[in-house]
Amino acid sequence: MADVIMPQMGESIAEGTVTKWLKNVGDRVERDEPLFEISTDKVDAEIPSPAAGVLREIRVAPGATVAVNSVVAVIAPEADAAMSAPTPATAAPSAPPPPAPPEPSRTPPPTPATPPPAVPAPPFVAAPSATRLLAPPPVEYEIEGEPPPALPAPATPPAPAAEPPAATPLPAGTPRAEMTAEELRLTRSSPLVRRIAAEHQVDLRSISGTGIGGRVTKQDILGHIEHHSAAETATPPAAPAPAAAPVAPPRSPAPPPPPAAGTSAPAPGIPAGARVERTPMSAIRRKTAEHMVLSWHTSAHVSTVFEIDMTRVDQLREKHRATFEGRGVHLTYTPFILKAVVDALKEFPILNASVDGDHVVHHKDVNLGLAVALDWGLIVPVVHHADEKNVLGLARAVNDLADRARAKKLKVEEVQGGTFTVTNPGVFGSLFGTPIINQPQVAILDVGTIEKRPVVRDDAIAIRTMCYFALTFDHRLVDGADADRFMARVKQSLQEFDEAAL
């Protein structure tokens, strides 16, 4: 039996008046189907049914006012009591808003009609969770206590409001007993200093300390970092947001080892005596490297490529270019592409979701990340609520974010919270690539170079402006059919672009 209760429509509201029953006793009702209407002050609200079944009893007649949470009706499951699972009272005493992520704790609806299908075992070995993957071997860091804060696991569900989960320090490193007295002295700096060292992956032993007993003080380490990071980007390495890590262009993930300076220890695989130069990675490079490998091991990457005729978009660009310039907006292909992507994501929202263990996190907002290549690395600023913008709005947002990315004036929240990413290595001439997914998203779209090519139209050769679009998607969540339907929609949107969307 499911109790239907008077919902609370606001913090200070203690009662409600039933105005109308939309179903009669004996009627079948589906979960979430409108069941009755209530009124409070000047607001009339339609209340959906908390459960599926048959309306067994109406306890409050229209016109009557009852306290919030009192039972106004009862719903019985259709089948025998023996078959149905015990039904809870309505999950939430507050009014039934649709919560954004599906809550794992919500008990299933009482109707036994279709038992939940057995989840088939995945055909591949599930990737290890990120925290395990990133736990470094303690010996490497030799800093007593906390190793550097890990990138947060993609398993942590990103809240719809895009709040970054706190970085969790992993369990302790080298046990004290194994360190020499000297090492102990040098590494026993204040927790703040150790944390700064960890964040910047600095070995405290390499810094001469000016503190008591030769300890490394905060000034020592900050001075050391500044000295070594003059050329590095200002991106704060501790920013733990999953979407902050930039996406590399679609190249092989294993570049040849960079020439190294000085030290005698060569990179692995390089014969001793080879002329090498070792330099420490910049923070942005390091984060990119970590993210790429992590992503590769987390998602089941599959790519699909579509060829799209951009001739119509070309025409619209030409037609509206002057108007847009007049409004201070440079009109490129990008906003057209983003608009098509947004529309397709609304229609196929599975590509806008995330994976959390064995749950799917559906994001109500479409926040598009756009990979921007800067001189010093890659960054992915995010156009939040891209689904609420027309082409003009998107063009403005993109231009603004790109300008500020180059000027290093992006705010932290502007590189967080993305739900889908678009990357455009086509500007460098690539036909198409196989990009790596930007965790914890489940897809990334690669836009290749846009150029005129001979194609067949109506059995004749025509010259059209063509472009290859490659979508990499996470096969844990997205099947080929979903991905291809999504891409077909993007293709259709672009080839038949609706001028009204400008």
Partner 1 sequence: MQEGLVSERRAGRIPDQLLLLEHDPVFTLGRNARPDNVLLPADALRERGFEVFESGRGGDVTYHGPGQVVGYPILDLSPDRCDVHRYVRDLEEVMIRACADYGIEAGRVAGLTGTWVGPDKIGAIGVRIARWVTSHGFAFNVSTDLSAFDLIVPCGIRGRGVTSLERLLGRPLLLDEVMDRLASRFAEVLEREVASEERREGD
Q: Which stretch binds partner 1 (CB under 8 A): 91-99, 164-172, 424-432, 459-467?
A: 91-99
CA 155 to chain centre: 11
User: Going by DSSP bridges, is the β-strand pair 53-58/71-76 parallel, antiparallel, or unpaired?
Assistant: antiparallel
Q: Could you say which DSSP state residue 454 is in? A: E
The reply on whether position 215 binds partner 1 by CB under 8 A is no
Q: Specify the stretch interacting with partner 1 by CB under 8 A; choose among 111-119, 318-326, 388-396, 440-448.
A: 388-396
Question: Residue 78 CB, nearest distance to partner 1 (Å)?
Answer: 24
- Does residue 65 belong to the site contacting partner 1 (CB under 8 A)? no
Query: Which positions are annotated as active-site residues?
Result: 475, 479
Residue of the chain from 27, 203, 358, 388 that contacts partner 1 (CB under 8 A) = 388
Position 98 contacts partner 1 (CB under 8 A): yes
Strands 71-76 and 65-67, how do they pair?
unpaired
Tokens of 253: 């993930």
Q: Which of 170, 201, 393, 449 binds partner 1 (CB under 8 A)?
A: 393
Distance CA 502, CA 470 (A): 25
Q: Which long-range contacts (CB under 8 A, 24 or more apart) does 457-460 make?
A: none
Q: Pick out residues in 11-40 that bind partner 1 (CB under 8 A).
A: 11-13, 19-20, 32, 34, 37, 39-40
Interface with partner 1 includes 140 (CB under 8 A)? no
One-letter amino acid for residue 175 of the chain: P
CA distances to 44, 49, 63, 92, 455 from 13, rounded to whole Å, are 14, 21, 17, 16, 65
- Taking CB under 8 A as the rule, which mask of x and - marks residues 144-173 in contact with partner 1? ----------------x-------------
Q: Does 10 bind partner 1 (CB under 8 A)?
A: yes
**Binders of partner 1: how many residues, by CB under 8 A?**
37
Q: Using alpha carbons, list the distances in angstroms from residue 21 to 42, 59, 89, 93.
A: 19, 11, 20, 20
Quote the least distance from Cβ 287 to partner 1, whole Å: 31
Q: Please report how close the Cβ of residue 380 comes to partner 1 at its closest, in angstroms.
A: 22
- β pairing state of 43-48 and 34-40: antiparallel
- Applying CB under 8 A, which part among 42-50, 412-420, 455-463, 484-492 lies near partner 1? 42-50
- Asked if residues 387 and 366 have their Cβ atoms less than 8 Å apart, the reply is yes
- The interface region with partner 1, picked from 98-106, 218-226, 314-322, 330-338 by CB under 8 A, is 98-106
Residue 300 CA: distances (Å) to CA of 24, 122, 351, 355, 475: 50, 11, 14, 12, 5
Interface residues with partner 1 (CB under 8 A) are 9-13, 19-20, 32, 34, 37, 39-46, 48, 94-100, 160, 346, 349, 364, 385, 387-390, 392-393
